[in-house]
Amino acid sequence: MASISQEQASHVLPGVKNVVAVGAGKGGVGKSTAAVLLAYGLHRSGAKVGLLDADVYGPSIPTMVGVEGHNPVVSGNMIVPPVAGGVKIISIGFMVDRDKPLIWRGPMAHGVIKQFLEQVEWGELDYLIVDLPPGTGDVPLTLAQLIPMTGAVVICTPQDVALMDARRAVKMYEQLNVPCLGMIENMSYYLCPKCGHRDELFDHGGAESAAGELGVPFLGEIPLNVKIRIHGDSGSPEKLFTDTPDYVTQAIQRVVSNTAGQIGIRNSIREAAPTLTVE
């Protein structure tokens, strides 16, 4: 199975320079949190950023960025995405009741994401971050083929079970010819705010080791910290960079910087690749 070509991408998202998917082999590893951190971290660096919540079965992005219950404006046949903290946002969560389960087959999800790509007024963006559903089943495979991606970032926690699924996610992108920009280890460790004791609740270093074995970059580790949970629940993404302990802020900024660096490397490789002509 092949991913969409860059030529096709230019027609789907003409003003978007980079599309970066954020995925995971399993749920519950902080994939949406990482997507928010990347989107707002890149925005803080001066980039124009959009965030597409493609997790149609568990759309948490509206809550995490403070726009839950928002009704997007429709202009002509285009959806105008709301802007939260300078980042353009779109999610199926805007269109359904928060307590209503979406019992959809793959083709229905495919159609919604296609609409979000083709009928949302994204405008000029340096980055479009896409929060994908977890796993390597029918829906993420379809989405990975549909979305013209610069690359994908895989999120996992350090324990062996999560790492097994993360490896499958990396292999999925490899089969789809989507470059893996790297792996992020979330909930990497816990630092007690009172005594400073470090506790590695889910083990530690597994993602870095797995990344080395798979031949993909390790983008960094994000510690387990109550402030990340509080600001995610309250829809205050900017505070993730201004109201967290220094070691947490520095860890987040490292992950964002490393991801941006890998995107730059990927673009340089693509630009340097020879163009073949047929006479």
pLDDT surpassing 90 at residue 165 = no
Give per-residue pLDDT as tens, 237-275.
Answer: 999 999 999 999 999 999 999 999 999 999 998 888 665
Does a structural domain hold residue 80?
yes
Does a structural domain hold residue 1?
no
- Please give the residue range of the domain that contains residue 43: 15-272
Total residues found in the chain within this entry? 279
Give per-residue pLDDT as tens, 67-86.
Answer: 998 888 999 999 999 999 99
Q: How many structural domains are present in the chain?
A: 1
| Span 2-18, average pLDDT | 66
CATH no. for residue 167? 3.40.50.300
Specify the pLDDT at position 224: 95
pLDDT surpassing 50 at residue 2 = no
Residue ranges with strand state E in 169-217 = 180-191, 198-199
pLDDT surpassing 70 at residue 99 = yes
Does a structural domain hold residue 83?
yes
Does a structural domain hold residue 256?
yes
Does a structural domain hold residue 56?
yes
- Tell me the DSSP string of 107-164: HHHHHHHHHHHHSB---SBSEEEEEPPSSSSHHHHHHHHHS--SEEEEEE-SSHHHHH
Does a structural domain hold residue 7?
no
Across 2-6, 162-166, 180-184, which has the greatest mean pLDDT? 180-184
Specify the pLDDT at position 3: 46
What phi and psi values does residue 128 have, to the nearest 5 degrees? -115, 110
Specify the pLDDT at position 61: 96
Does a structural domain hold residue 277?
no
What phi and psi values does residue 112 have, to the nearest 5 degrees? -65, -45
CA distances from 42 to 106, 115, 118 (A): 31, 25, 23
From the number of C-beta atoms within 10 Å of its C-beta (0-12, 13-18, 19+), residue 51 rates as buried
Specify the pLDDT at position 138: 66
| Span 116-133, average pLDDT | 94
Please tell me the distance from the alpha carbon of residue 166 to that of residue 97, in angstroms, as a whole number: 31
Does a structural domain hold residue 3?
no
Give, as one character, the DSSP assignment of residue 5: P
CA distances from 129 to 50, 57, 87 (A): 6, 18, 10
Give, as one character, the DSSP assignment of residue 188: E
pLDDT surpassing 80 at residue 279 = no
Q: Which residues pair with 46 in a beta bridge?
A: none
| Span 42-64, average pLDDT | 94
Percentage of the chain exceeding pLDDT 90: 57
Percentage of the chain exceeding pLDDT 70: 90
Give per-residue pLDDT as tens, 182-217.
Answer: 999 999 999 998 898 998 887 788 899 999 999 999
